[in-house]
Amino acid sequence: MKNFKISLILKGLGMGAANVIPGVSGGTIALITGIYEELINSLKSFDLQALKLLLKFKWKEFVSYTNLYFLVQVLFGLGIAVLTLAKVFKYLFENYPVYIWAYFFGLVLASVYFVGKTVEKWNISTKISFLIGLIVAVIVTVLHPAGENDNPVYLFFNGIIAIISMILPGLSGSFVLILLGNYRLVAIDAINNFDFKTLLPFALGAIIGLVAFSHVLSWLFKKYKNQTIALMTGFILGSLNILWPWKKAVFLQQNGEYVMKHGRKIIAYYEQVVPGHFGGKFVFALLLILLGIISIYYLEKSGLEKS
């Protein structure tokens, strides 16, 4: 099949895996693997002209105008990753939290360099953009989250906000869901249990937010590409605070008692701590940080980033 490219599905898988992890952005993976701008422009193409072509049954023109084959392959990989990895990550977070945080810490740490080096010229405007992105990301990471809320209207706006952060390199959609109080509800429980009552309003908000915000990003890339990438580099660096492997969970409380959901305490936020000891587990965590760095190096250098 002429338009089929396994590399696009693999990139989608990488984006989907990243979006499930709090602190890692699928947009970062898209930027590093060289499909970010094409992805944004393809999403932007779903406008009135695309609707007219569809209503007139001009299928070939619609497919070409929307770059549909590209989108289907990337989104297919992304969807498969989200559906299959939710349970895997649930197990890893519950049993090996330091190790999985360590790997993604290395992943994002390396992303700062590989995204930043795509800025063609570091001048005053790009440096200011970088600092703004860094400051905003740091502020976001120290915010304390809201409580869990399954109201459909709230879920709809969760979808809009989360999808915007998912496609912005350095801003993690999963972490934003934590801040909104609904990470476990949406990203773990609803996906694993196929809870469409929760997923549908969230998905509707995500679709609307994705198409609308892609126009903004496309315009920024066209007019201020270097400043936009510098801003995103700042976002990525600022998000490292979330991914520090050694942390302890602080559980949500109301009136001095733990808030429970399905028999479990709800995590309000994490406090970063210094490793308690420097034995074999610490060394293994360092090796996983290195593995994360190598993974990004491979993504950037291998042929996968060439669509």
Phi, psi (deg, nearest 5) at residue 33: -85, 5
Phi, psi (deg, nearest 5) at residue 261: -140, 115
Confirm if 209 and 164 have CB atoms less than 8 A apart. Answer: yes
Residue 162: how many CA atoms within 13 Å on its side-chain side? Answer: 32
What pLDDT digit, counting tens, does each position of 249-274 carry? 777 666 677 766 666 676 666 677 88
Q: What is the pLDDT of residue 259?
A: 65
Q: Which secondary structure element, helix H or strand E, spans residue 270, and what is its range?
A: strand 267-272
pLDDT (mean) for 153-172: 81
Average pLDDT, the chain: 81
Q: Given pLDDT bands bounded at 50, 70 and 90, which one contains residue 303?
A: very low
pLDDT (mean) for 14-22: 75
Residues forming beta bridges with residue 248, ordered by sequence position: 271
Q: Which range (59-68, 175-184, 209-218, 296-305) has the least confidence?
A: 296-305
pLDDT at 30 over 80: yes
pLDDT at 171 over 70: no
Q: What is the pLDDT of residue 118?
A: 82
- Determine the straight-line distance between the first and last CA of the chain, rounded to whole angstroms: 15
Q: Given pLDDT bands bounded at 50, 70 and 90, which one contains residue 138?
A: confident
What pLDDT digit, counting tens, does each position of 48-61 carry? 898 899 888 899 99
Phi, psi (deg, nearest 5) at residue 25: -105, 130
183 compared with 8, residue with greater pLDDT: 8
Q: Residue with structure tokens 């126009």?
A: 215
What pLDDT digit, counting tens, does each position of 85-136 carry? 767 877 887 788 888 889 888 888 888 888 888 888 899 999 999 999 899 8
Residue spans of alpha helices (H) in 145-279: 152-167, 173-180, 183, 191-193, 196-223, 225-238, 240-243
Q: Which range (121-125, 220-224, 235-239, 289-293) has the least confidence?
A: 235-239
282 compared with 145, residue with greater pLDDT: 282
pLDDT at 214 over 90: no
pLDDT (mean) for 211-218: 84
pLDDT at 304 over 50: no
pLDDT at 75 over 80: yes
Confirm if 16 and 80 have CB atoms less than 8 A apart. Answer: yes
Tokens of 11: 């990139």
81 compared with 286, residue with greater pLDDT: 286
Q: What is the pLDDT of residue 306?
A: 47
pLDDT (mean) for 42-49: 87
pTM: 0.70
